[in-house]
Structure 1
Amino acid sequence: MASPSNDSSAVFLVTVAANVAPLIGVFHLGWSAQTFAVVYAIEVVIAVPFAGLKALFARRPPNYNELERSRGDGPFKSDERDGIPVGPSDLNRRRGSVTVVDPLPPIYPRNVPFVLQAFGAAVGLVGLFLFVLGRFVDVPATLVDPSVAVSVVFLVISHVGVVEREYFRKRRHETSTPRDMVASATTEAGVAVVVLMFAIVGGPTGALVAFVAVKVFVEWRGYRGGAAFDPDGGVGTLPPMAAPDVSPTAEVRPDRRAVHAAALWRGATSAVSGGPVYLFAWVGLTAGSTGAVAATVVCFVLLPAGIGGLKAVEYALTHGTLAYQRRDDAVVAYDDLTGAVQWATPVEDLRDVELCEGEFVDRACDTRTFSLMTSAGEYELSVAHLREYDRAVKAFELPVKTTAFGPLDRRVAGAAAAVGACGVAAVAGLAYSAPTIAAIAAGFGGPFGVVALRSAWQWAIPVA
Structure 2
Amino acid sequence: MKRRERVSPLTSSPVGAISLTGANLLPLVGVLLWEWSLWSLLVIYWAEAFSAVVLAALKILFAERGSPSVAGQMEPLRELREKRGGWVIRGSWPPVYPRNIPFALSLVGGWFVTVFPVSIAYWLSVDAPPVLTLNLLCGLGTLVVAQGVDFVAEYIHRERYTDVSAREIMRTPAQLTALLLPLALFATDGGRTGGLVILVGVVLGKSSASLYRFYVEHIGTPVLGTGDWFEAEENLSEPPPEIELPDDAVQARVSVSAKSVLLGSLWAIAYGFANRLGLGSLVVTGFATIARDPVWMAIGLVGVGVIVATRVLSYFFRYGTIEYQRRGNHLVAYDKLLAAPQWCLTVDSSTTFSVKNAIADRLLDTGTLTISSGGEQEDVQIGPVADIDRVVETLGLPVEETARPDRDPVVIGAASVLMLCFAAVPAGLFFSSQITDAMAGAITVVFAPFFLLPVGVLLWAALSRI
Q: Is the 8 A contact 1:98 1:338 kept in 2?
A: yes
Aligned to 2:117: 130
- The 1:117/1:264 distance shift into structure 2, 3 A limit, reads farther
For the pair 1:336 / 2:336, whether they are aligned, the reply is yes
Correspondence 1:423-434 to 2 at 5 A: none
Return the offset for 1:336: 0.9
Return the offset for 1:99: 2.0
Aligned to 2:164: 176
Aligned to 1:185: 173
Aligned to 2:273: 271
Q: Is the 8 A contact 1:258 1:365 kept in 2?
A: yes
Within 1, Cα distance between the matches of 2:346 and 2:376? 11
Correspondence 1:422-461 to 2 at 5 A: 442=445, 444-445=446-447, 447-457=449-459, 459-460=461-462
Q: Size of the alignment, in residue pairs?
A: 422
- The 1:391/1:5 distance shift into structure 2, 3 A limit, reads closer
Return the offset for 1:341: 2.7
Return the offset for 1:90: 6.7
Q: Is the 8 A contact 1:367 1:387 kept in 2?
A: yes
Q: Is the 8 A contact 1:369 1:385 kept in 2?
A: yes
Rg larger in structure: 2
Return the offset for 1:148: 13
- Amino acid paired to 2:159: R
1:62 to 61, 66, 83: 66
Secondary structure, in 3 states, of the residue corresponding to 1:409?
helix
For the pair 1:245 / 2:248, whether they are aligned, the reply is yes
- The 1:119/1:392 distance shift into structure 2, 3 A limit, reads farther
Aligned to 2:49: 44
Aligned to 1:355: 355
- The 1:6/1:257 distance shift into structure 2, 3 A limit, reads closer
Return the offset for 1:2: 7.5
Q: Is the 8 A contact 1:350 1:372 kept in 2?
A: no
Secondary structure, in 3 states, of the residue corresponding to 2:249?
coil
Per-residue deviation, residues 419-460 of structure 1 (Å, max 9, x unmatched): 669969999xxxxx9889968854x44544553344334554
- The 1:58/1:348 distance shift into structure 2, 3 A limit, reads same
Aligned to 2:5: none
Within 1, Cα distance between the matches of 2:131 and 2:359? 45
Aligned to 1:256: 258
- The 1:8/1:402 distance shift into structure 2, 3 A limit, reads closer
Aligned to 1:325: 325
Deviates further, 446-455 or 382-391: 446-455
Q: Is the 8 A contact 2:20 2:146 kept in 1?
A: no
- Amino acid paired to 1:97: G
For the pair 1:98 / 2:87, whether they are aligned, the reply is yes
Q: Is the 8 A contact 2:60 2:165 kept in 1?
A: yes
- The 1:160/1:434 distance shift into structure 2, 3 A limit, reads farther
Q: Is the 8 A contact 1:390 1:403 kept in 2?
A: no
Secondary structure, in 3 states, of the residue corresponding to 1:247?
coil
- Amino acid paired to 2:185: A
Aligned to 1:386: 385
Return the offset for 1:162: 4.6
Return the offset for 1:217: 6.2
Return the offset for 1:222: 1.9
Within 1, Cα distance between the matches of 2:153 and 2:269? 34
For the pair 1:116 / 2:105, whether they are aligned, the reply is yes
Return the offset for 1:305: 4.3
Within 2, Cα distance between the matches of 1:372 and 1:399? 14
Within 2, Cα distance between the matches of 1:391 and 1:152? 66
- The 1:375/1:239 distance shift into structure 2, 3 A limit, reads farther
Q: Is the 8 A contact 2:130 2:190 kept in 1?
A: no
Aligned to 2:23: 15
* RMSD of aligned alpha carbons: 5.3
Within 1, Cα distance between the matches of 2:369 and 2:439? 45
- Amino acid paired to 2:412: D
Aligned to 2:239: 236
- The 1:5/1:161 distance shift into structure 2, 3 A limit, reads closer
> Where in structure 1 are there 5+ consecutive unaligned residues?
75-88, 286-290, 428-432
> Where in structure 2 are there 5+ consecutive unaligned residues?
1-8, 217-221, 223-227, 431-435
Q: Is the 8 A contact 1:130 1:281 kept in 2?
A: no
Return the offset for 1:277: 3.7
Within 1, Cα distance between the matches of 2:382 and 2:45? 47
- The 1:350/1:450 distance shift into structure 2, 3 A limit, reads farther
Aligned to 1:79: none
Aligned to 1:219: 210
Within 1, Cα distance between the matches of 2:364 and 2:376? 30
Q: Is the 8 A contact 2:56 2:169 kept in 1?
A: yes
TM value normalised by structure 2: 0.67
- The 1:419/1:12 distance shift into structure 2, 3 A limit, reads same
Within 1, Cα distance between the matches of 2:210 and 2:11? 15
Secondary structure, in 3 states, of the residue corresponding to 1:332?
strand
For the pair 1:371 / 2:362, whether they are aligned, the reply is no
- The 1:218/1:325 distance shift into structure 2, 3 A limit, reads same
- The 1:17/1:194 distance shift into structure 2, 3 A limit, reads closer
Q: Is the 8 A contact 1:116 1:310 kept in 2?
A: no
Q: Is the 8 A contact 1:121 1:186 kept in 2?
A: no
Q: Is the 8 A contact 1:333 1:341 kept in 2?
A: yes
- Amino acid paired to 1:56: L
- The 1:257/1:394 distance shift into structure 2, 3 A limit, reads same
Return the offset for 1:267: 3.9
Within 2, Cα distance between the matches of 1:379 and 1:436? 47
- Amino acid paired to 1:199: L
TM value normalised by structure 1: 0.68
Aligned to 1:86: none
Deviates further, 378-387 or 217-226: 217-226
Within 2, Cα distance between the matches of 1:382 and 1:400? 16
Within 1, Cα distance between the matches of 2:418 and 2:243? 49
Correspondence 1:401-440 to 2 at 5 A: 402-404=403-405, 406-407=407-408, 409-410=412-413, 412-413=415-416, 416=419
